Structure 1
Amino acid sequence: MTMTFSASASATLNRPVITAWSAVSPYGIGKDEFVAGVMAGKDATSVLDSGEWAAPDDRACLVPGFDLREVLGRKGTRSMDRVTGLAVTAVRDLLRDSGDRRTGGDEQTALVLGTTTGSAQSMMDFTRASLVGERPFYVDPSLMPNAVMNCAAGQCAIWHRLKGPNTTIAGGRVAGLSALSYAAGLLRAGRAETVLCGAVEEFSDARAWLDHHRRSEDAAGALLGEGCAMFMLESAAEAGHDGRALAEVLAVESRVYSGAGLRPVLDACLGGVLARAGVGADEVVSVSASGLAGRAGEEEREVLTARFGARALDRAPSLDGVGDTSGASAALQIGSVLGAAGRGEPAGGIAVISSVDDDGLVACAVIRTLAG
């Protein structure tokens, strides 16, 4: 199966552009904290409180001081889980940053959120309550919504009164790029005038143990991270004329590989996305690799270096300092590229975002950054 989106030269006026973005990351709440941490190469690793966490590792990359009631207030947060809180916070900051410049009103604003599974912790807690309770139905009904994968996206819409299409895309590490492609499709089809898209991942004991048991030996020692990055996507025809556009989304493509077939599939995906974007490899200024731990990550970097050169990869900020953010990783990669362009490093140009999931998915996006 191949997911594709392209915006050819003949459709320039309908090309989606990113007009605002936000981030919640192990560097703190807000895109400014994220950009500062990424550009400085800061290590966001912290020691886990054994009284709060029961994970197999004693360190992780957590959003510092992320207490739901302190960040979002007491109303409506009693039963909210962590992944939902991260997403609601990122959407809040995105809407604050854009102010009244949004093209579409609440009725015309869609939301597309990428994830791995939603909250693994909520799913396991709810299932466990059914198994250990005196009766299988002796569970807290207020926790049921958290166990549904699209809970975070739904809560984002409810909290912020967004009434357009609401979609959750489960895609693992490539979820951010899958969400970007889906969002562009909504704009093209006229289903929305503005789309808020991005991806989220929480840290939890459940996720940590699942990762501990599934992680391959060559990826042992990688620390988990968490976060959320959200982007406002609008049509260039509506938002491109007033200087709000930060980047143009030229093309997105994804493919599936199996076994040892990563190299040829990733290379073909890169070739396809560049062709759809209408740019050559020599025009690419920076390349953001997913940084997946283990052999798959090494192969990804080798393929990218062979096509674009080591210098292009070095220009993109590294996200090693925030750990393995899994479902949020590709969205945070886009944020790091936008943040670097905003600081003039480099000052605009063609950027490629590559995402590899060791479950057999690869995705690539080509964007033209305009900030700087």
Structure 2
Amino acid sequence: MTLSASAPATATRPVITAWSAVSPFGIGKDEFVAGVLAGKDASSALDSEEWAGPDDHACVVPGFALREVLGKKGTRSMDRVTGLAVTAVRDLLRDSGDRRTASDEETALVLGTTTGSAQSMMDFTRASLVGERPFYVDPSLMPNAVMNCAAGQCAIWHSLKGPNTTIAGGRVAGLSALSYAGGLLSSGRARTVLYGAAEEFSNARAWLDHHRRGEDSTGALLGEGCAMFMLESADPTGPDGRALAEVLAVESRVYFGDDLREALAACVEGVLRRGGVDSGDVWAVSASGPAGSAGEQEREVLTGRFGAQVLERAPSMASIGDTAAASAAFQIGSLLSVAERSAAPEGGVALVSSVDDNGVVACAALRLPVG
């Protein structure tokens, strides 16, 4: 891929200029904004004829039938996580209209995930094991078993010809994707980056989560969805009226055993220092709130640093369940939702915290809204 001279490397901080969401509140950003600000409970009973997991309730995208949402062409063998991502990118490009400053060749896509589609991987493997021959499998299902299928399909469906990247990062995938997207902009590899994260609900994921879930997180509901954002370089000549938020910094840390508190505290300190922000300047903090002790430790650290009132200004993500890889992306969407309704002071700083009980924490500092 060759970029034109109109996409030079830049030292300006990236800004979010548009976003979209496909969530348990419904398809579209407006449904997400209304649902998250109202604290609406998005859980629902699962149809036993469609789902065969260990739980009878979950937070799934209502009415998400691939052929009804995306049409019949090209969707016969498409899996759920790919459909969620393709739909979110479609809505993002549609809603941004002509505000995107880059051509298709200068537009990159970065998608965060856990493993892609666990259901597709298991279905394909099972077909090889139970078939008369190991190679008696449906070849059309093979692409779905590859982790970067969703990102590739997004580019194919929407003619995006820039860099295409999949970030496997678990719960922190949304912030890892943001960090990677910023690197593409700063290096001149892209002029616009569509970034976000997606997670599907499936029988396979439900059973995997059921068997790995600790006793202190029993009863947690799974959720699904995809949130996508348009990231561009700020206008260096003055205030950028397109900007919904300025990305000040993104940091991550790893921890071992019971060192979550120490790692998160260091991560918070690092992101504030890199972003040039004092603790007193932080207006809102969005906690990821994983079930069990990890969520309790996260809230303890953040409350000790910023105070309970600052955490309460960010909408809770509990109402859409555990959206895993998509959780941090939805957290950013919730903060933009607050800013969209003029609840945030102009130039206020918001911090996103993401904790994965597998040993990773990440934080991002955003200034919202901008100018």
Question: Structure 2-normalised TM-score?
Answer: 0.96
Alpha-carbon contact 1:24-1:90 (below 8 Å) kept:
yes
Aligned partner of residue 260 in structure 1, secondary structure: coil
Aligned partner of residue 253 in structure 1, secondary structure: strand
Aligned partner of residue 237 in structure 1, secondary structure: coil
Aligned pairs for 1:225-244 within 5 A: 225-237=223-235, 241-244=239-242
Shift of residue 241 of structure 1? 4.4
Shift of residue 103 of structure 1? 1.3
Write the deviation string for residues 128-161 of structure 1: whole angstroms up to 9, x where unpaired: 0000000000000000000000000000000000
Residues 231 and 239 of structure 1: CA distance in aligned 2, closer, same or farther (over 3 Å): farther
Alpha-carbon contact 1:239-1:245 (below 8 Å) kept:
no
Residue 363 (structure 1) aligned with residue 362 (structure 2): yes
Unaligned runs of 5+ in 1: 1-10
Alpha-carbon contact 1:289-1:300 (below 8 Å) kept:
yes
Residue 32 (structure 1) aligned with residue 33 (structure 2): no
Write the deviation string for residues 215-243 of structure 1: whole angstroms up to 9, x where unpaired: 10000000000010000000002797451
Aligned counterpart, 1:169? 167
Write the deviation string for residues 15-41 of structure 1: whole angstroms up to 9, x where unpaired: 100000000000000111001000000
Aligned pairs for 1:120-269 within 5 A: 120-237=118-235, 241-269=239-267
For 1:241 and 1:281, how far apart are their aligned partners in 2? 25
Aligned counterpart, 1:326? 324
Shift of residue 371 of structure 1? 6.2
Shift of residue 346 of structure 1? 2.0
Aligned counterpart, 1:273? 271
Aligned counterpart, 2:337? 339
Aligned counterpart, 1:65? 63
Shift of residue 84 of structure 1? 0.1
Aligned counterpart, 2:41? 43
Aligned counterpart, 2:101? 103
Aligned counterpart, 1:350? 349
For 1:347 and 1:202, how far apart are their aligned partners in 2? 35
For 1:82 and 1:197, how far apart are their aligned partners in 2? 19
Residue 70 of structure 1 aligns with an amino acid whose one-letter code is: E
Residue 262 of structure 1 aligns with an amino acid whose one-letter code is: L
For 1:44 and 1:83, how far apart are their aligned partners in 2? 19
1:296 counterpart (288, 294, 297): 294
For 1:61 and 1:371, how far apart are their aligned partners in 2? 33
Residue 141 of structure 2 aligns with an amino acid whose one-letter code is: L
Aligned partner of residue 254 in structure 1, secondary structure: strand
For 2:173 and 2:210, how far apart are their aligned partners in 1? 21
Residues 239 and 210 of structure 1: CA distance in aligned 2, closer, same or farther (over 3 Å): farther
Residue 367 of structure 1 aligns with an amino acid whose one-letter code is: L
For 1:190 and 1:263, how far apart are their aligned partners in 2? 36
1:23 counterpart (21, 38, 43): 21
Pairs aligned (count)? 362
Aligned counterpart, 1:3? none
Alpha-carbon contact 2:10-2:186 (below 8 Å) kept:
no
Aligned partner of residue 200 in structure 1, secondary structure: strand
Aligned counterpart, 2:112? 114
For 2:74 and 2:184, how far apart are their aligned partners in 1? 30
For 2:41 and 2:57, how far apart are their aligned partners in 1? 12
Unaligned runs of 5+ in 2: 1-8
| Stretches (4+) displaced over 3 A | 238-242
For 2:82 and 2:124, how far apart are their aligned partners in 1? 16
Residues 302 and 65 of structure 1: CA distance in aligned 2, closer, same or farther (over 3 Å): same
For 1:44 and 1:240, how far apart are their aligned partners in 2? 41
2:84 counterpart (86, 106, 109): 86
Aligned counterpart, 1:4? none
Alpha-carbon contact 1:17-1:239 (below 8 Å) kept:
no
Residue 75 of structure 1 aligns with an amino acid whose one-letter code is: K
Aligned partner of residue 34 in structure 2, secondary structure: helix
Residue 132 of structure 2 aligns with an amino acid whose one-letter code is: E
Aligned partner of residue 204 in structure 2, secondary structure: helix
Residues 139 and 272 of structure 1: CA distance in aligned 2, closer, same or farther (over 3 Å): same
Aligned partner of residue 14 in structure 1, secondary structure: coil
Question: Structure 1-normalised TM-score?
Answer: 0.95
Residues 12 and 112 of structure 1: CA distance in aligned 2, closer, same or farther (over 3 Å): closer
